[in-house]
């Protein structure tokens, strides 16, 4: 019995020891269970209740205590539906069953707190068959931060894909645009000039395909003569970040050289290297057009010069015999003629002057058309201009029995700055037309002035009682080579250039012209010119009949190659009583001056053997004190200016106006 008791005690001690060990192990695992950072809970499937949980599980679900947690069912810790749309209860049963049939389950689960908020969890389920009980160990980890990071990562990935797609789209669109551009585009490495990219147009005009160019550098396309220029452009690129535009030449694959226009900027890439973005334009067509334009311009200038030379020559050739005609007519006027012969003489003189006017109109029209007519700016008297015009046309008015009057406004203050020759030309054209188209009655010039927008306006009105004009004729009056109608041309004559020239001159002066006309009643033309006021001006010579100056004992040399004109000038000079010497060319004039002194020389310009300009130059060197007057049919403004610049003291045009000649002689010799 004692032995049995001893054995029993020993067994009890052993059991107690094992129980103590088991309790120690249980306490150890309980401690690990409780301190785990993951939410741990044990579910009894037979009751559907939790039988164990740790503090992490209590905190994660927002439960107050362990006791409250153990009274909850799993359905209270999940929303009704999972994010996939399935029922939470249905899915939970499926996962638990799989735990016993397939082993531990690991899955993502949407849990909820007691306040109804949800959060994502990573859940592990493990079957715990213990003492015949069906228990399930659930380990849960709140992965809200991880899910948030994943979401952000996914968003970033989506954005990256979007940006990448957008970049690829924009790149494709840009390349299409660049390749459709009608100019060459190239990207080169700055360190060696190697091509990194070229577009289709660059490939086209160089003759190389893109692959070939991508294995080349721009030095291979550049002729050696541009090397220094290239280094200067590279320096500009380094200093300013850009170069060009500048022109040079490229060498095609075929070896042909062609012109290009380049400009570019410096760009940087992620590889840290510097590149040049260049825009290159093949300007071969432009150069061809420029050359064609230059050739056309040269041809036009040559044609214009040929026309000007022709007109100047024709003017000279016509004026030379006209000098004999008008000079002879002027000399005849000094004779005592019968009334009938005097009428014939006046008609001949008027016809000769009309021919001279036509010549002048053609020359002026040519200069206006070629933009070669320049306006002088000198102080002058407008009243003197009117008196000069009246002197020129008085005989026409008298012969037709027309009353020719001039009215000056009381407030008109004389003295203006402008081109006196062209102002007179405007007035003379208007008055001549008024007299031409008036058979009886009056022609009146009225002078006044008024304040314009920025300057004083000179108002010149020419009124006649002539045939007038229709509205249609008024619209056409300023057209070139046009008169009111064909019947007007047949009846009154004229080239139809006078009013066109008048309008051009008025426009050049910045003025305007207005017409008021009624058929068979008359015409009024008003011209307004914005001329500056002159602070002072000197009166010019009055254009009246001038008596021949008495130059007895004065020696005058006349150089004239035309024998008829020699006779006319000698006849004009006869009344001066001067001693005349006549030679036929410049060479003879120089010889005459070397042999004796003269008080004045009348020098024609165009003469054989030696012209008047060369002769004057030689005479000036030896006897510069002798005044030399240009007596010539060259009347172009540029020619007259040139003669005066070369040392001629005066210019007397052919046909010679005897009054002008006498006035010049009086001023230089009297």
Can you point out the beta strands (E) in 35-148?
A: 39-44, 49-53, 105-112, 118-130, 133-142
Residues 302, 347: Cα–Cα separation, whole Å:
41
Which structure tokens are listed for 640?
């007259």
Rounded mean pLDDT for each run of 10 residues along the chain, 670 residues in total: 68 65 56 76 88 89 89 89 92 91 91 90 87 85 85 86 81 73 87 89 91 92 91 88 91 94 87 87 91 89 75 71 74 74 72 70 71 82 88 83 90 88 89 90 92 81 91 80 48 62 89 91 93 76 68 93 89 91 94 94 93 94 93 80 92 87 89
The reported pTM is 0.49
**Chain center to CA of 363:** 35
**Chain center to CA of 68:** 89
Which structure tokens are listed for 562?
């035309």
- Options 3.30.530.20, 2.60.120.260, 3.30.450.20, 3.60.20.40; CATH for 181-282 is 3.30.450.20
Which residue in 243, 253, 249 sits closest to 278, CA to CA?
243
pLDDT at 120: 92
Residues 327, 572: Cα–Cα separation, whole Å:
8
Architecture of domain 36-142: 2-Layer Sandwich (3.30)
Domain ranges of the chain: 36-142, 181-282, 374-529, 555-669
pLDDT at 488: 46
The helix, strand and coil proportions of the chain, stated in percent and rounded to the nearest 5, come to: 50, 25, 30
Which structure tokens are listed for 477?
């009056």
Q: Is the dihedral of CA 350, 355, 361, 363 positive or negative?
A: negative
Find the Cα–Cα–Cα–Cα dihedral 639, 645, 650, 651, rounded to 10°: 0
How far lies 453's CA from each of 197, 413, 456, 457, 608, in Å?
61, 19, 8, 9, 56
Residues 197, 23: Cα–Cα separation, whole Å:
80
What is the radius of gyration, based on Cα positions, of the chain? 57
Taking CB atoms within 8 Å and a gap of at least 24, the contacts of 340-348 are 346/395, 346/399
User: 374-529: what CATH class?
Assistant: alpha beta
pLDDT at 32: 61
The answer to whether the 36-142 and 181-282 domains have the same CATH topology is yes
Superfamily of the domain at 555-669: Response regulator (3.40.50.2300)
């Amino acid at each position: 019995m004692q032995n049995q008791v001893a054995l029993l005690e020993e067994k009890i001690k052993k059991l107690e020891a094992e129980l103590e060990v088991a309790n120690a192990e249980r306490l150890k695992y309980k401690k690990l269970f409780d301190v785990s950072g993951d939410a741990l809970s044990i579910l009894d499937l037979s009751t559907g209740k939790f039988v164990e949980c740790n503090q992490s599980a209590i905190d994660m679900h927002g439960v107050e205590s362990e006791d409250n947690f153990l009274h909850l069912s799993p359905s209270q810790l999940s929303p009704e539906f999972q994010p996939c749309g399935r029922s939470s209860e249905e899915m939970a049963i499926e996962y638990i069953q799989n735990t016993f049939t397939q082993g531990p389950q690991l899955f993502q689960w949407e849990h909820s707190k007691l306040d109804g908020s949800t959060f994502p969890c990573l859940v592990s389920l493990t079957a715990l068959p213990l003492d015949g009980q069906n228990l399930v160990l659930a380990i849960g980890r709140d992965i809200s931060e991880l899910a948030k990071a994943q979401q952000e990562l996914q968003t970033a990935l989506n954005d990256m894909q979007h940006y990448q797609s957008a970049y690829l789209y924009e790149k494709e669109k840009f390349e299409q645009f660049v390749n459709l551009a009608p100019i060459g585009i190239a990207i080169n490495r700055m360190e060696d000039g190697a091509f990194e990219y070229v577009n289709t147009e660059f490939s086209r005009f160089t003759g190389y395909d893109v692959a070939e160019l991508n294995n080349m550098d721009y030095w291979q396309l550049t002729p050696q003569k541009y090397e220094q220029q290239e280094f200067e452009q590279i320096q500009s690129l380094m200093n300013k970040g850009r170069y060009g535009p500048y022109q040079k030449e490229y060498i095609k694959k075929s070896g042909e050289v062609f012109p290009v226009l380049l400009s570019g900027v410096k760009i940087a890439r992620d590889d840290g290297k510097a590149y040049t973005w260049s825009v290159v334009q093949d300007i071969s067509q432009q150069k061809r057009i420029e050359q064609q334009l230059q050739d056309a311009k040269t041809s036009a200038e040559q044609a214009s010069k040929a026309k000007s030379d022709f007109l100047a020559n024709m003017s000279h050739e016509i004026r030379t015999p006209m000098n004999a005609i008008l000079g002879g007519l002027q000399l005849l006027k000094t004779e005592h003629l019968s009334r009938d012969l005097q009428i014939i003489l006046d008609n001949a003189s008027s016809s000769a002057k009309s021919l001279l006017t036509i010549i002048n109109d053609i020359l002026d029209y040519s200069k206006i058309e070629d933009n070669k007519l320049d306006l002088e700016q000198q102080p002058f008297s407008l009243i003197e201009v009117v008196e000069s015009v009246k002197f020129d046309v008085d005989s026409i008015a008298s012969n037709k029995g027309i009353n020719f009057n001039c009215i000056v406004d009381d407030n008109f203050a004389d003295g203006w700055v402008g081109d006196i020759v062209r102002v007179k030309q405007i007035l003379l054209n208007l008055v001549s037309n008024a007299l031409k188209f008036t058979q009886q009655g009056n022609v009146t010039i009225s002078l006044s002035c008024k304040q314009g927008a920025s300057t004083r306006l000179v108002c010149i009105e020419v009124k006649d009682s002539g045939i007038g004009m229709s509205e249609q004729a008024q619209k056409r009056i300023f057209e070139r080579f046009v008169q009111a109608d064909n019947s007007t041309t047949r009846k009154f004559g004229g080239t139809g250039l006078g009013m066109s020239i008048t309008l051009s001159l008025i426009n050049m002066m910045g003025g305007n012209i207005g017409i008021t006309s009624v058929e068979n009643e008359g015409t009024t033309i008003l011209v307004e010119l914005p001329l500056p006021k002159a602070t002072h001006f000197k009166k010019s010579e009055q254009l009246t009949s001038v008596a021949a100056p008495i130059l007895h004992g004065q020696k005058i040399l006349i150089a004239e190659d035309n024998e008829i004109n020699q006779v006319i000038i000698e006849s004009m000079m006869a009344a001066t009583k001067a001693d005349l010497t006549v030679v036929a060319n410049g060479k003879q004039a120089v010889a005459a001056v070397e042999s004796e002194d003269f008080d004045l020389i009348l020098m024609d310009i165009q003469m054989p053997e030696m012209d008047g300009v060369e002769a004057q130059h030689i005479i000036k060197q030896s006897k510069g004190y002798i005044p030399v007057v240009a007596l010539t049919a060259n009347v172009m403004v540029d020619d007259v200016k040139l003669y005066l610049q070369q040392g001629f003291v005066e210019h007397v045009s052919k046909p010679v106006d005897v009054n002008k000649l006498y006035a010049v002689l009086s001023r230089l010799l009297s």
